[in-house]
Amino acid sequence: MSDPALGLLMLGLIVVVIMLGFPTAFTLMGLGMVFGAIALHDPSLPWHQNRVLDLMVERTYGAMNNDTLISIPLFVLMGYVMERGALVDKMFYSIQLAFRRVPASLAVATLIVCTFWGIASGLVGAVVVLMGVIAFNPMLKAGYNVKLASGVITAGGTLGILIPPSVMIIVYAAVAGQSVVKLYASAMFPGFFLAFLYLVYIVGWALLDPKIAPPLPPEQQKIPVPAWIPAFQASYARNMLLGLLKSVVLPGKALALETEKGRMTYLGLWKNLLSALFPLLLSAVTLWGIWWYVVIHQQADAKAMQEITASVKKQQQQQQQQAPAAAPEKPAGEEKPQEMGINSAPEEQKDEGLQEMGSPELLEQGEKAPAEAGPPAEFFIYFWLVVAATALVLLWYYWKLQADSFELLKLLISSVMPLGILTIVVLAVILFGITTATESAGIGAAGAFLLALQAGTFNWERLKQSVFLTAKTTAMVCWLFIGSALFSGVFAILGGQQLVETWVLALNLSPIQFMILSQAIIFILGWPLEWTEIIVIFVPIFLPLLKHFNIDPILWGTLVFVNLQAAFLSPPVAMSAFYLKGVAPKHVTLNQIFAGMMPYMVIVIVCMVIMYLWPGMTLWLPNYLYGGG
């Protein structure tokens, strides 16, 4: 058997052995060692001096020397700490009340919490199990269709591995040698767009067939209002914002009220006022942040660039003034031709030389990221339109701010705001280049500890569980990288990679045909294999071909991320289904869960088609922030 044929045999065996249930990492290492010993066998040397041992050491060191992997244990620790801290129960309750008038409100709330919680934790199994415990039984008791209830939990739970910060993206970055921050930026919009498509499907199905998601009874839609608020409204105003503004000026009547925590205090009045003003403050901070980054921050950079340019020009002028004085004296007879212009050619050459060394003109011509080039003219039009629309929405909201809306706002602030701030900070410091991915992971892990401690749900036992699970997951990823590095090295030595490339190039495919073929293969592999095996074993086979077809590895990788959502939803190895089955009631069968997941696989394909037809959804943000094509 030829060496390339051995490579293909090794590739086929890895799929069969993994499907038989053997551990992926050690299967990769075992096959790599066996086939590597065959490929590197030298009859003149004893068996124990086979060079496959040197290859194993070299590949292991290379894999573990990858700085990108350092962020994995920190992001995993962040997820496990928040999952063990049980911070999601109150969030689901408050979001469900906020969407109580929307069709299939429990399913909508489940999807939103799955998305939000998945971003924060990045753990598919933890999100599916947690939402299965919290949301599955309430949906079934409310009369929801089993397929709808199971599908929204299993599909929504997988979004955490797609939307940053995601361990899957870090693993791909390490395998493909791409920037983690660019991949994070590229996955941002597609991840939320896929969640939006899920939402459209759920609400659309409920509108077409209301029987699958009956409305909740009135008592479950009622927002609990404390007894002191009606008395407060009677004393000041029905509108809570107007009443709170009056109460901080004339607090006498308010301070006589009894709340669930005792007598109302002046500090309590200010806390309630700040809660009422939170939507206004959040909108103002968000809009100011956009204005600062796009306009003020870029103008400061442009001013600094102008100062550098002016400094370079000044140095050039000084050099030009000093050059004639330093030149040797010429005979008198040679001065006249110089006056007639013979010296013009050397000056042009001198200018060209200076330009080659880096003149201000060339500095200004250098390629910049759009974020560094300053805002386009239309930005100001759209920005002020958004400001006007936001102002109108806030005006309508505060005009309608009654007791139940105010209490709902407080519930949302207390349950969503802490986790939201942590997630936004972790993503912002990465995307805006303030910290590296590893440093932001450390910030996220520290913030997760603070949130869990503040909630009062974290203890020593849960800390030990979080650390143990983090070590276990990190060890699994590291062993996968070691096994994958050895496997891919032996596969290349046997000529398997070259054989695959020759076969693909012989098909004479167009870029779109190659894109469809590669994504179809990954989609099919997602049925028997998990995402880790696909990324560390099969993705490296396609990566060298991207350059030939002129396909952006950022775009292709993001399509792979979306594609691998199906790996969690496709039987027989649909891990989301097994996670949910473990906490589902006994009457819910695995086939019902599988049936509920199938429509979401179609939605994943639709999302991928839209991403390919509209690559700007994927590439605009990384190109804007960091430059590129």
pLDDT digit string, tens, across residues 338-365: 443 334 444 444 343 333 333 334 334 4
Q: Hey, what long-range contacts does 250-258 have (CB within 8 A, 24 or more apart)?
A: 257/228, 257/231, 257/232, 258/227, 258/228
Mean pLDDT value of segment 391-397: 96
Phi, psi angles (nearest 5°) of residue 263: -65, 140
- Amino acid (1-letter code) at residue 55: L
What tens digit of pLDDT does each residue of 91-120 get? 888 999 999 889 999 999 999 998 888 887
Rg of the chain in Å (alpha carbons): 31
- Amino acid (1-letter code) at residue 188: M
| pLDDT at position 271 | 93
Q: Where are the domains of the chain?
A: 59-218+415-629
Mean pLDDT value of segment 307-321: 67
Q: Indicate the helix (H) or strand (E) that contains 566.
A: none
| pLDDT at position 112 | 92
C-alpha dist (Å) from residue 55 to 2, 106, 201, 479, 490: 21, 54, 50, 16, 9
Distance CA 418, CA 453 (A): 12
The model carries a pTM of 0.80
| pLDDT at position 144 | 93
Instruction: Kindly state the tokens that stand for 27.
Output: 């299967």
Percent of the chain exceeding pLDDT 70 equals 86
Q: Please answer whether residues 351 and 313 qualify as being in contact, where contact means their C-beta atoms are separated by less than 8 angstroms.
A: no
Q: Please answer whether residues 628 and 622 qualify as being in contact, where contact means their C-beta atoms are separated by less than 8 angstroms.
A: yes
Q: What does the mean pLDDT of the chain come to?
A: 82
Phi, psi angles (nearest 5°) of residue 569: -110, -5
Phi, psi angles (nearest 5°) of residue 573: -105, 50
Q: In the structure, what pLDDT confidence band is assigned to residue 324 with cuts at 50, 70 and 90?
A: low
Q: Indicate the helix (H) or strand (E) that contains 517.
A: helix 511-525
Of 59-68, 188-197, 475-484, give the range with the top mean pLDDT: 188-197
Q: Please answer whether residues 578 and 569 qualify as being in contact, where contact means their C-beta atoms are separated by less than 8 angstroms.
A: no
3-state secondary structure 104-122: CHHHHHHHHHHHHHHHHHC
Q: Is the predicted pLDDT of residue 3 greater than 60, yes or no?
A: yes
Which is more confidently placed, 555 or 530?
555
Which is more confidently placed, 172 or 433?
172
What tens digit of pLDDT does each residue of 368-387 get? 566 666 677 788 899 999 99
Mean pLDDT value of segment 147-171: 89
The mean-pLDDT minimum among 192-196, 199-203, 293-297, 598-602 falls in 293-297
Which is more confidently placed, 194 or 72?
194
Q: Is the predicted pLDDT of residue 468 greater than 70, yes or no?
A: yes
In the chain, the largest separation of any two C-alpha atoms, in whole Å, equals: 110
C-alpha dist (Å) from residue 378 to 13, 38, 283, 288, 384: 57, 64, 21, 18, 10
Q: In the structure, what pLDDT confidence band is assigned to residue 628 with cuts at 50, 70 and 90?
A: low
According to DSSP, the residues that pair with 405 across neighbouring strands are none
Distance CA 153, CA 580 (A): 8
Length of the chain measured in residues? 629
* Helix boundaries (H) for 338-459: 344-358, 360-365, 377-399, 403-431, 437-455
The mean-pLDDT minimum among 298-302, 414-418, 472-476, 504-508 falls in 298-302
